Structure 1
Amino acid sequence: MEKLTIQEEQAMQVIWKTGDGNIKMFLENMDPPQPPYTTLASTVKNLEKKGLLQSRLVGNTYMYKPAITEEEYKKHFMSGVVKDYFDNSYKQLVNFFVEQKKLSPKELKDIIEMIERGGDKTREK
């Protein structure tokens, strides 16, 4: 899977949120400032070429739907970040956020509890 541009990632976020839709629907669900229609249409076509979207013609309008889930993309993307920036070490990743004061002791404790429960964040202690 190719790395997406910021513009492509923003479009995919809206498409995952919207589900099946056309360019107009995706534009309506974007936060301002919205890109021009033609810019979003080009971005969507690029995403389709990259295999992240599927399209079908309905009347005279193309409808698009995600070819992968947001979860699948996150898994692939985060694996690349950990490999490329943290020497394939999730411990280094967590340490980075602790050093940047982006992770509180309580959040770290919550993460440890999730690990101990086998990753199920919904299961009670």
Structure 2
Amino acid sequence: MADKLTLQEEQAMKAIWQTGEGNVKMFLEKMEPPIPPYTTLASTVKNLEKKKYVTGRLMGNLYVYKPLITEADYTKGFMSGFVKDYFDNSYKELVNFFVDQKKLSPKELKEIITLIESKK
């Protein structure tokens, strides 16, 4: 995967994924508040192009961008890196963390086990 994204870049990518292909104005329309100024988003999109997350081309006098990575692929890479960096590459430790923090109930854990067993 390319360089890790900042929060601002992730927000921009979400708008780009929702749009598919478009210009900065179109991406602004898809963003959740607080919406950045046009120039800030344009700069962020240029950074995303440098990081190889989007590709841009000039159409008339307007740049049009499209994603080079799917949201699913980004999420997969992000989660793999997150588990590696914070949970010693152990998904068991990740689940244990949520159980310890009382963010995952026994009922939810049983549902996860059922889901895992159904995928075998």
Q: TM-score range by the shorter chain?
A: over 0.9
Between 1 and 2, higher relative CO (CA 8 Å, sep ≥ 6) is seen in 2
Q: What pairs up with 1:1-125 in 2 under 5 angstroms?
A: 1-118=2-119
The sequence identity of aligned pairs, in percent, is 72
Unaligned runs of 5+ in 2: none
CA distance in 2 between counterparts of 1:107 and 1:46 reads 40
Shift of 1:34: 0.7
TM-score in terms of structure 2 length: 0.93
TM-score, reference length from structure 1:
0.90
SS at match of 2:4: coil
Whole-Å separation in 2 of the counterparts to 1:41 and 1:113: 45
Q: How many equivalent pairs are there?
A: 119
1:30-57 per-residue CA deviation (whole Å, 9 max, x = no partner) reads 1122100000000000001000001122
Report the RMSD for the aligned CA atoms in angstroms.
1.2
